[in-house]
Amino acid sequence: MAVTLILRDTKNRLSLADPLSGTLLDISLYGARLSVPHIRTGRYHLFYACKDDQAKIIQLELIDKPGEDRLVLPAHPVWFDHVLSSPSKHFELGLEFLAPPEDPNIAKLHAFLAGQPPVAGNWLKGLFRLA
């Protein structure tokens, strides 16, 4: 699922850089794993900018359905990795949601994902194929 990441300064209520498009790979009630083409946006590194200043967060945004709700979840990055083995050499980013698991936007996100067709070759299928 396509998502948009926006680096924000919550203290000054500012967007700090241009939005960055990414892909949602995995999700739980507490966070998500994303793929992004690069880890920097503008002059900011998504991971280190948030680690250096707790007032900086990443807003994870997605559109529930065309013309409908825009889901916005504030998050902090907890890890990142440069996937050099991939042809696209993308980055993966782990986010921890700042909203509690019972937040309505997290419930909406899970409901929307439940209605999507399964992705061929997901990690669970790959695990059973190896066994």
pLDDT tens by residue, 43-54: 999 999 998 888
For residues 42 and 18, give the distance between their C-alpha atoms in angstroms, rounded to a whole number.
7
Structure tokens at 129: 């194929």
In this predicted structure, what is the pLDDT of residue 129? 41
User: pTM of the prediction?
Assistant: 0.78
Query: pLDDT tens, 88-105?
Result: 889 999 999 999 989 888
Question: Cα dist. 20→9, 65, 127 in Å?
Answer: 16, 20, 31
In this predicted structure, what is the pLDDT of residue 7? 94
Q: DSSP 3-state assignment of 116? A: coil
pLDDT at 128 over 60: no
| CATH annotation of 2-130 | 2.40.10
Taken in order 61, 66, 67, 69, is the CA torsion positive or negative?
negative
Q: Count CB atoms within 10 A of the CB of residue 81.
A: 12
